[in-house]
């Protein structure tokens, strides 16, 4: 369950996140089961994924061997491609937002920073979006539009994280 304070988000941000998960258009995207609200908060109830997130798995297991890292990176590539196919870019790919189902396969989660792609594969942004440890350095500058390829930098950090980061050093 994701609890979102109404005072800190815009309606369009939450609607985008809700719509992506409610589509059920991809096996790689966490499915929304229910959405409701009270006076102060919005609630998104997602499917239960018992494997937790990739960060928790890395913390328990330590650095992955090459075969396991390749497996998760292959699945991550398919997951990101499926999101792009429905016209969105995630903008916050990191181990905490990669969940694991009961069969060991991944699903993307947390679409709070997601943005729609235009016809040319551009994303409009008034300010940098994402987690600083994973965001492309050039996106830390304030820019209005950027190509989809720049949004893939966060994905390029994941292999390094999977193969080398120990539980004592999960942040750059």
Backbone phi and psi for residue 122, each to the nearest 5 degrees, phi listed first: -100, 155
Quick check: 129 and 29 in contact, CB under 8 A?
no
- The DSSP-derived string for 54-108 is HHHHHHHH-SPPHHHHHHHHHHHHHHHHHHHHTTEE-S---GGGEEE-TTS-EEE
Quick check: 94 and 118 in contact, CB under 8 A?
no
Quick check: 121 and 139 in contact, CB under 8 A?
no
Our answer to whether residue 133 is catalytic in this structure is: no
Give CA torsion, residues 136, 131, 144, 114, to 10 deg.
Answer: 110
Q: Which of 53, 92, 110, 154 is catalytic?
A: 92
What are the residue numbers of the active site? 92
């Amino acid at each position: 369950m994701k609890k979102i304070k109404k005072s800190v988000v815009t309606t369009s941000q939450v609607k985008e996140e809700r719509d992506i998960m409610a589509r059920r258009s991809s096996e790689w995207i966490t499915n929304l089961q229910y959405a409701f609200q009270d006076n102060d908060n919005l609630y998104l109830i997602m499917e239960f994924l018992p494997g937790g997130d990739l960060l928790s798995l890395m913390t328990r297991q330590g650095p992955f061997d090459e075969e396991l890292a390749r497996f998760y990176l292959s699945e991550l590539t398919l997951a990101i491609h499926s999101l792009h196919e429905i016209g969105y870019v995630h903008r916050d790919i990191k181990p905490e937002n990669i969940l694991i189902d009961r069969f060991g396969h991944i699903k993307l989660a947390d679409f709070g920073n997601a943005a729609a792609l235009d016809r040319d594969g551009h994303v409009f942004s008034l300010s940098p979006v994402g987690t600083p440890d994973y965001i492309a350095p050039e996106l830390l500058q304030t820019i209005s539009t950027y190509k989809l390829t720049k949004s893939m930098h966060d994905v390029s950090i994941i292999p390094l994280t999977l193969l080398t980061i120990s539980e004592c050093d999960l942040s750059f």
